[in-house]
Chains A and B, each alone.
Chain A
């Protein structure tokens, strides 16, 4: 409706003569409004602009080492050395690198997965986690046009954008429990039970973003059971496999539980964090099907969706992933390095919690070590966050989310002190 009015306004505006001088020319884009700034990027920009030597960036969603520097894993550097000049740059097939897909499926479904043996998984290389989710959302729209997606509250903000642009209606389900800074398990189970049969659910496989709150193994089993009762479809977004506990097998536990229970899942995988390949946009989308024939058909349709979006996926990241995972020694090194990253985060969680306790904070900070992965939902209010920024030059998103990747042995005391200051009168 608004669009037609806008389009009509454009037509009217363009009725005047077009003049060679740019300034006096009527633009086609008069009705195009400036998009709102990305909230997270705004945090980084403000941080960069701050001259204070004490400033701390705990808004960043990328891993940092104990010196606060970005990291390129050794296994990645080695893989790059090996692949340099080793191959031409011809187009990958539409579905992407076969080797990368193979290795990704082993990681997600298990090395000895019967589903891999039986070729029941339709899988394509995707543009990291975002691209995998988008392909699935578009596939959902095309082949199940009456379906909708249930998204946890809260979730990574781009999930909403993805399913919205794919034109799949969204619902939310209860997830985070603010009072306990933990899981609202009762609310979650209620929403699962009350959703219409055969609903599609987006689940974070591990290291929930932004809360860091994951169901326990027992809770996952209950969720899986209820999904079977309601015949719901589980779509897993797994962006942190290995990065959460340090053990990729353990981080895939939720998925394995669902597979054991007979669910035919969908799964988005990303190598942005666990392999530090952020800008390479390396990921995988997989859908477990009835049989090989169906898997071939589904894969062909996923490719049909990818073709008019970007034709075929980028090579470089795929080469790195398949080189690392395909070589036992390099894979070993990767496992060691990803555990190192996870351990550092876990160490910082412990340090932050203990520092706050030592400062005599009246509040409970158990949730810092109960939560897992890159992010911690601190429970601080927007006003408290603003104080952290304005008084202490600490930058984070206003929902109180702390990126533990930005915490170092060098700044943890300062951070704890600042948090204590703004929360002690809670």
Chain B
């Protein structure tokens, strides 16, 4: 009997939609204009608009090469020295919660992997709970909670009228949510808007979250990268922890150590007692094992080496200040150019008050399209530009484009 295997079982599998951000880079590559500028990129670029590996990372890798360590499996929770370093960085090495052993830390696959572990934990142990995410937020947040089957809803965040924070809306929506919700907060340098609450606003948020018995859940992807100071950028998280609340925190070293491709981050759960942290950690491990068994070593060793050596740690802080500094300079130049060239009296100061890699320009979809079609400037359609992809030389050109798009396009 001649046996033919039937047609593939995957015949019905449709093509997935293109990634909104990758699509930008692809279109940019295809553009032949000399004037083109890629402001979609979510990775730091030097003033020469080149990707860069931090010097301190090169040093650490060289050291690791010389040491020639083995490549054995890490334990499920990851590299111990990294886990210690990352919790210390986040909370401060002298933080009582660390001394008391109340922090469950798992090395995980950068910010995404940390968020996903937390989401899986929430689904398993808090199946009736909802996650509240900002409107807007990083595009992948929704995918993570969807795939983890955790319901989510949005709280107001961005106010297009002021190109700033809709704080009252934010507070109202968090207050209105069912008790025991998880509130996803960006620790610093909100992505995509660049708009962060002020210290006073953080205090008020903590009041409301405490009052409603919500769980604060921080996504910290830019510690040190936002203001240039590791401690300052962690102040929002530390504020909540100081109040004695239990807190989830996802961390990433993609941007602040430029370790994008090595996928290094951590999920931390600050718990009420050490034995609670123990139990929570054991269950996070149980979720990680059937996902990837144990996390990749390379990035963890780099971080541990850098943080563990006072000289290298100092060098890292310097390089981070430089990166943050370059972004601040570019913001200033862009603001100056806009203010100088725009005769309408529009207030462009949001460029200066926003922080981090991204800026929400307030441009709408047709206006963003104009940026690309007429000016060869590539950005995401929500009006977000990545300042990491901008240099001083291009600021005036960008200012011209923004002014034109804003005033002449509906």
Contact = CB atoms under 8 A, between A and B. Distances in A.
Contacts of B52: 88
B298 interface: yes
A303 interface: yes
Given A27-B273, A35-B286, A89-B53, A301 B8 contact: no
Identify which of B16, B245, B283 gathers the most chain A CB atoms within 10 Å of its CB.
B16
Interface in A247-304: 261-264, 272, 276-281, 287, 289-290, 294, 296-298, 300-301, 303-304
Contacts of B74: 279
A277 B294 CA distance: 12
Contact of A11 (B43, B96, B179): B179
Interface in B111-156: 112-113, 116, 120, 124-129, 140, 143-144, 146-148
Interface in A387-426: none
Interface string A21-53: 111011111111111001001000000000000
B110 A22 contact: no
Nearest to A88: B51
B51 A278 contact: no
A134 B282 contact: no
Contacts of B339: none
A170 interface: no
A169 interface: no
A134 B290 contact: yes
A298 B125 contact: no
* B43, B71, B109, B258: residue with the most chain A Cβ atoms closer than 10 Å: B71
B343 interface: no
B215 A91 contact: no
Please indicate which of the listed interface residues B180, B290, B297 has the most CB atoms of chain A within 10 Å of its own CB. Answer: B290
A32 B19 CA distance: 37
A77 interface: yes
Contacts of B204: none
The contact size tier of chain B is: 35 or more
A303 B243 contact: no
B244 A29 contact: no
A91 B260 contact: yes
Interface string A100-135: 000000000000000000000000000110110010
B187 interface: no
B215 A310 contact: no
Contacts of B126: 7, 10, 28
Contacts of B365: none
B111 to A, nearest CB: 8
A85 interface: yes
A212 B6 CA distance: 32
A263 B112 CA distance: 35
Contact of A32 (B12, B71, B97, B125): B125
Given A144-B9, A262-B5, A10 B180 contact: yes
Interface string A75-103: 01100110011001111111000000000
Interface in B1-43: 3-16, 19, 22, 43
A34 B13 CA distance: 40
A317 B299 CA distance: 11
B54 to A, nearest CB: 9
A164 B147 contact: no
B286 A290 contact: no
Contacts of B72: 62, 70, 278-279
A22 B102 contact: yes
Given A29-B246, A81-B65, A287-B10, A279 B15 contact: no
Given A89-B57, A164-B290, A264-B8, A278 B262 contact: no
A19 B112 contact: no
Nearest to B275: A34
Contacts of A6: 125
Given A22-B273, A70-B70, A310-B292, A89 B127 contact: no
Contact of A7 (B68, B128, B147, B215): B128
A4 interface: yes
A92 B109 CA distance: 13
B25 to A, nearest CB: 10
A313 interface: yes
A171 interface: no
Given A27-B272, A310-B292, A279 B213 contact: no
A84 B140 contact: no
Given A7-B127, A7-B128, A287-B10, A18 B15 contact: no
B244 A25 contact: yes
B58 A85 contact: yes
A81 B62 CA distance: 9
Given A144-B9, A262-B4, A264-B5, A134 B291 contact: yes
Contacts of A188: none
A80 B63 CA distance: 12
Contact of A303 (B16, B43, B283, B285): B16
Contact of B296 (A22, A89, A280): A280
Interface string B267-301: 00101110010111011011101111111111100
Nearest to A76: B71
A350 interface: no
Interface stretch (A227-235, A321-329, A367-375): A227-235
Contacts of A31: 125
Nearest to B73: A278
B291 A314 contact: no
Nearest to A165: B290
A316 B243 contact: no
A229 B272 contact: no
A314 B262 contact: yes
A263 B9 CA distance: 11
20 contacts: A7-B128, A18-B210, A22-B244, A32-B280, A35-B283, A89-B51, A89-B261, A92-B261, A127-B296, A233-B9, A276-B71, A278-B72, A278-B73, A279-B297, A290-B10, A300-B16, A310-B112, A311-B110, A315-B262, A315-B263
Interface of B: 3-16, 19, 22, 43, 51-53, 57-58, 61-62, 65, 68, 70-76, 96-97, 100, 102, 109-110, 112-113, 116, 120, 124-129, 140, 143-144, 146-148, 179-180, 210, 213, 215, 243-246, 254, 258-263, 269, 271-273, 276, 278-280, 282-283, 285-287, 289-299
Given A262-B3, A315-B263, 15 more contacts: A14-B179, A14-B213, A22-B96, A28-B215, A29-B280, A62-B72, A84-B65, A90-B260, A90-B261, A231-B5, A264-B5, A294-B13, A298-B10, A309-B147, A312-B263
Please give me the 8 A-B residue pairs with the lowest Cβ-Cβ distance, nearest first.
A315-B261, A310-B109, A300-B16, A161-B290, A279-B297, A316-B298, A127-B292, A35-B282
